[in-house]
C-alpha cells in the first residue's frame, strides 16, 4: 500500500522506517496458501491453550472469558482462535489496534511495545474487556510491520461500583491505548496504576502476565512464519485469505432471496425500571450484500446494558451472520465485508461512550437470535428455534474472613433451538459466547462460600416439535457464609420461540429459599441481595425452541425422551398428543 493508503486507513502517515506489507504482486501457490492459512489459526489456538495454563483466575483458565486474535498492519481481523468469545474478536481487537495506530502512528509502535485498551469510546463494551496487543515486525532487520497480535481478556476486577452504575465513569479504570511495555521494557508506573485500582490484585496481575506472555509468543511465532515464506508471500497470503472469505460470504448471501425480513422481540427491562425493551430488527438482502437495520431498536438505556456501535451493533450483526454462514469459513475481516449496518447513534447498541455498560452483553443473545429469526422464511432449512438467550448469571461476592475480596460469576448454560435435521443441543452458553465452560463444581466449592446440592437437566424445559429443543439445567447452591448475590436473567417475558410450527421453550427462573423457609422467592434481577448461611439459591435455565409441528415427531424419539427423563409423561401427552400406558410406553391414540 502507498503512504496515501496508510493515511486513509489509520489517520497517520506511513513511517519511512517501517514499511507495511505490499499486498499485491507476489505469487503464491495453493499449498503454501493453505499452510499459512491454517498455521495462523494454529498459532492463535496455541496461545489460547497457553493462557488457560498460565492465568491466575478461574474466570480465565476454566471459564475461558477471553479470545485471541491476529490483525493485519491496519487492524483488520485476519485470524482468531477457534474457541474464543465471538464478541471479543468480531471487531473489538481491530478497533483497539486502529485506535493505537491513530494515537501513536506506526512510527511510534516499536518492536517490544505492548499496548492495552479498554476504552468504551473505542471498543464499545464494558471496561473489564481489555485488549492487549503488540506489533509484529518481520524481515531481516524487522523492517516490515505485518500485523498485531492481540488478546482480549476479561480483567476480573477493575474497581468501580459496576452493576448499579449510571455512567461509564462509575465502572472502573479506563485505559485508552496506553503502553504497558516500551521497546521490550515494562512501564512500572502503569503496572502500579492497574494494581492499585483493583480489589483483586493477585488474580488480575497474574492474568495480565498470562495475557502478556501470549502476546509476545504469538508475535514471535507469526513473525517466524512470515520470515519462513518471505514477507511478500505472507502478505499476499493474508490478502487472498480475506478475499476468499469475502467471496464465500457473498456467495452465501446471493443464494438468499432478495427482500426485507423483520422480527420483533423484547428484553424484560433495562435493569433500571420495569418497562420491556423492544428489540426490532430488519434484515435486508440485496444481491450479495446483507444489511442489518437497527433503526427501530430501543434507545440508549438508563441501566448498564448499553454498548457502542463498535462492540455492540456491529458485533452482534457479525456474530449472527457467522452463525448463519456456518463453521466451514474462517471469521475474519473478509467474511464481514458484505455486512452493512443501519444504526443511528443513541440506540441500545450505539450508545454514547459515557453511557453505563457494565452489563453490556445482556441484549446480545436476544439480538443475535432475533437477526437469525428474521430470516426464518428466507432460510427455512437453516434457521433454528430460539435459544434460551440470556446470560443467566449468578454472581457471589464479598469478603473472606481474612479480608480479601472474592467475586465469582457463575453464568448459566441453557438449551439451544432445534433445527431442520436434529434436536436442539445443550445445555450450552449463549450465542454471544464461544467455548466458555462451567467452572468445575469442586473448584467453586473450594474457593467460594457455598455447596452445590443439585446439578441436573431441567425436565420439560425444551420446546416441543418434530425436533425438540435443547434442555436447560437446574443448579442449587447452599450458602455457607454471608455474602452478596447478583443475578442477571432475561427472556422471562418473551420465551425462546419455536420455528416452522415448533413450540416455545420454558424461560429461566431464579429463586431463593431463605434459611428455615421452604417458600421460594423470585430473584431474577438483583444487584446486591444479602445472603446468609443456610440460604438455598436455585438457578433454572431456559430451554431451546422446537422445530416443526410436534405431531411430526417420531414415537421412538418421544419414548427416548421419556425414558431419559427429558420429558415427563404429562408433557408428552400434552405436547405430542400421545398416551402413556401403565408400562410407561407411549402410543398414539387410534383415530
pLDDT tens-digit map of 470-491: 999 999 999 999 999 999 999 9
Question: Domain boundary residue among 193, 227, 261?
Answer: 227
Cβ neighbors of 411 (< 8 A, separation 6 or more) are 63, 391, 392, 393, 394, 429, 436
- Distance between CA atoms of 465 and 424, rounded to whole angstroms? 10
**Separation of alpha carbons 120 and 130, rounded Å:** 10
Work out the average pLDDT over 43-62: 96
Task: Supply the range of the domain harboring residue 466.
Answer: 388-553
Q: Reply yes or no on whether the pLDDT at 516 is more than 70.
A: yes
b/e for 372-387, b at 16 or more Cβ within 10 A?
Answer: bbbbbebbeebbbbbb
Q: Is the pLDDT of residue 550 over 60?
A: yes
**Average per-residue pLDDT for the chain:** 93
In the predicted structure, residue 23 carries a pLDDT above the cut 90: no
In a domain, residue 588? The reply is: no
pLDDT recorded at residue 436: 83
pLDDT at 179 over 80: yes
Instruction: Please say if the pLDDT value at position 237 is more than 80.
Output: yes
User: Rounded mean pLDDT of 419-445?
Assistant: 91
- Do residues 296 and 280 make contact, with C-beta atoms less than 8 angstroms apart? yes
- What is the reported pLDDT for 11? 34
Q: Does 192 have pLDDT greater than 60? A: yes
Quick: pLDDT tens for 326-377. Answer: 888 889 999 999 999 999 999 999 999 999 999 999 999 999 999 999 999 9
pLDDT tens-digit readout, 58-90: 999 999 999 999 999 999 999 999 888 888 777
Tell me whether residue 244 is in a domain. Answer: no
Q: Is the pLDDT of residue 259 over 50?
A: yes
Q: Is residue 364 part of a domain?
A: no
pLDDT tier for residue 590 given thresholds of 50, 70 and 90: confident
The confidence score (pLDDT) of residue 10 equals 32
- Final residue of a structural domain among 227, 243, 266: 227
Dihedral sign from CA coordinates of 181, 36, 68, 281: positive
Q: Is residue 71 assigned to a domain? A: yes
Residue 132 reports pLDDT greater than 90: yes
45 assigned to some structural domain = yes
Q: Read off the pLDDT of each residue in 207-223 and give the average, rounded to a whole number.
A: 98
Burial 204-243 (b: 16+ CB within 10 A, else e): bebbbebbbbbbbebbebbbebbbebebbbbbbbbbbbbe
**Parallel, antiparallel or unpaired: strands 19-20 and 114-117:** unpaired
Peptide bond into 427 cis (omega under 30): yes
CA atoms within 13 A on the CB side of 357: 31
Number of domains present in the structure of the chain: 2
Which pLDDT score, from 0 to 100, does residue 9 have? 32
pLDDT at 27: 77
Single residue among 190, 210, 227 that ends a domain in this structure: 227
CA proximity to 76, closest of 150, 12, 3, 138: 150
Is residue 23 in some structural domain? no
pLDDT value at 8 more than 80: no
Instruction: Supply the pTM of this predicted model.
Output: 0.92
Determine the average pLDDT of the residues in 527-535. Answer: 95
The least confident of 97-106, 210-219, 427-436, 524-533 is 427-436
Q: For residue 352, is it within any domain?
A: no
Q: Would you state the pLDDT for residue 327?
A: 82
Query: What is the pLDDT, as a whole number, of residue 58?
Result: 92
pLDDT band of residue 5 (cuts 50, 70, 90) is very low
The confidence score (pLDDT) of residue 2 equals 37
pLDDT at 345: 98
Q: Is residue 520 part of a domain?
A: yes
Task: Write down the pLDDT at residue 49.
Answer: 96
pLDDT value at position 15? 38
* Confidence label for 26 from pLDDT (cuts 50, 70 and 90): low
Tell me the average pLDDT across 425-444: 89
Confidence check: pLDDT of 247 > 90: yes
Amino acid at each position: 500500500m502507498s503512504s496515501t493508503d496508510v493515511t486513509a486507513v489509520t489517520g497517520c502517515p506511513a513511517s519511512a522506517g517501517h514499511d507495511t506489507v505490499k499486498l499485491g504482486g507476489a505469487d503464491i501457490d495453493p499449498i503454501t496458501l493453505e499452510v499459512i492459512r491454517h498455521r495462523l489459526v494454529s498459532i492463535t489456538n496455541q496461545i489460547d491453550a497457553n493462557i488457560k495454563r498460565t492465568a491466575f483466575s478461574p474466570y480465565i483458565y476454566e471459564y475461558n472469558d477471553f479470545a485471541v486474535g491476529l490483525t493485519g498492519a491496519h487492524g483488520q481481523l485476519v485470524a482468531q482462535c477457534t474457541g474464543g468469545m465471538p464478541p471479543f474478536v468480531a471487531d473489538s481487537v481491530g478497533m483497539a489496534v486502529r485506535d493505537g495506530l491513530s494515537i501513536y502512528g506506526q512510527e511510534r509502535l516499536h518492536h517490544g511495545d505492548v499496548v492495552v485498551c479498554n476504552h468504551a469510546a473505542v471498543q464499545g463494551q464494558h471496561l473489564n474487556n481489555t485488549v492487549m496487543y503488540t506489533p509484529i515486525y518481520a524481515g531481516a532487520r524487522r523492517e516490515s510491520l505485518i500485523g498485531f497480535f492481540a488478546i482480549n481478556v476479561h480483567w476480573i476486577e477493575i474497581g468501580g461500583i459496576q452493576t448499579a452504575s449510571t455512567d461509564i465513569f462509575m465502572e472502573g479504570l479506563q485505559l485508552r491505548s496506553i503502553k504497558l511495555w516500551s521497546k521490550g521494557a515494562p512501564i512500572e508506573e502503569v503496572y502500579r496504576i492497574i494494581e492499585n485500582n483493583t480489589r483483586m490484585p493477585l488474580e488480575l496481575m497474574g492474568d495480565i502476565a498470562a495475557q502478556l506472555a501470549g502476546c509476545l509468543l504469538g508475535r514471535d511465532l507469526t513473525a517466524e512464519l512470515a520470515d519462513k515464506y518471505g514477507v511478500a508471500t505472507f502478505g499476499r497470503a493474508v490478502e487472498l485469505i480475506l478475499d476468499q472469505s469475502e467471496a464465500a460470504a457473498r456467495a452465501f448471501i446471493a443464494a438468499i432471496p432478495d427482500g426485507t425480513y423483520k422480527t420483533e422481540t423484547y428484553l424484560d427491562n433495562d435493569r433500571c425500571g420495569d418497562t420491556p425493551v423492544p428489540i426490532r430488527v430488519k434484515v435486508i438482502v440485496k444481491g450479495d450484500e446483507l444489511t442489518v437495520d437497527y433503526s427501530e431498536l430501543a434507545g440508549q438505556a438508563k441501566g448498564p446494558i448499553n454498548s457502542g456501535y463498535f462492540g455492540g451493533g456491529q458485533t452482534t450483526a457479525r456474530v449472527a451472520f457467522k452463525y448463519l454462514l456456518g463453521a466451514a469459513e474462517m471469521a475474519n475481516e473478509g467474511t464481514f465485508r458484505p455486512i452493512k449496518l443501519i444504526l443511528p447513534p443513541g440506540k441500545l447498541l450505539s450508545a454514547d461512550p459515557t453511557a453505563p455498560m457494565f452489563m453490556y452483553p445482556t441484549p446480545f443473545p436476544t439480538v443475535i437470535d432475533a437477526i437469525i429469526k428474521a430470516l426464518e422464511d428466507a432460510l427455512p432449512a437453516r434457521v433454528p428455534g430460539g435459544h434460551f438467550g440470556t446470560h443467566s448469571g449468578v454472581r457471589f461476592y464479598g469478603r473472606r474472613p481474612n479480608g480479601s475480596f472474592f467475586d465469582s460469576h457463575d453464568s448459566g448454560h441453557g438449551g439451544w433451538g432445534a433445527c431442520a435435521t436434529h434436536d436442539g443441543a445443550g445445555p450450552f452458553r449463549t450465542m454471544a459466547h464461544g467455548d466458555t465452560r462451567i467452572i468445575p463444581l469442586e473448584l467453586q466449592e473450594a474457593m467460594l462460600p457455598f455447596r452445590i446440592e443439585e446439578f441436573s437437566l431441567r425436565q420439560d424445559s425444551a420446546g416441543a416439535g418434530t425436533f425438540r429443543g435443547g434442555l436447560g439445567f437446574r443448579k442449587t447452591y447452599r450458602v455457607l457464609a454471608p455474602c452478596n448475590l447478583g443475578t442477571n436473567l432475561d427472556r422471562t417475558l418473551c420465551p425462546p420461540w419455536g420455528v416452522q410450527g415448533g413450540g416455545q421453550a420454558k424461560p429461566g427462573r431464579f429463586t431463593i429459599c431463605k434459611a428455615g423457609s421452604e417458600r421460594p422467592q423470585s430473584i431474577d434481577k438483583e444487584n446486591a441481595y444479602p445472603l446468609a448461611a443456610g440460604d438455598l439459591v436455585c438457578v433454572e435455565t431456559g430451554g431451546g425452541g422446537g422445530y416443526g409441528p410436534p405431531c411430526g415427531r417420531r414415537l421412538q424419539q418421544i419414548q427416548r425422551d421419556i425414558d431419559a427423563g427429558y420429558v415427563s409423561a404429562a408433557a408428552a401427552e400434552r405436547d405430542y398428543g400421545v398416551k402413556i400406558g401403565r408400562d410407561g410406553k407411549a402410543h398414539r391414540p387410534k383415530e
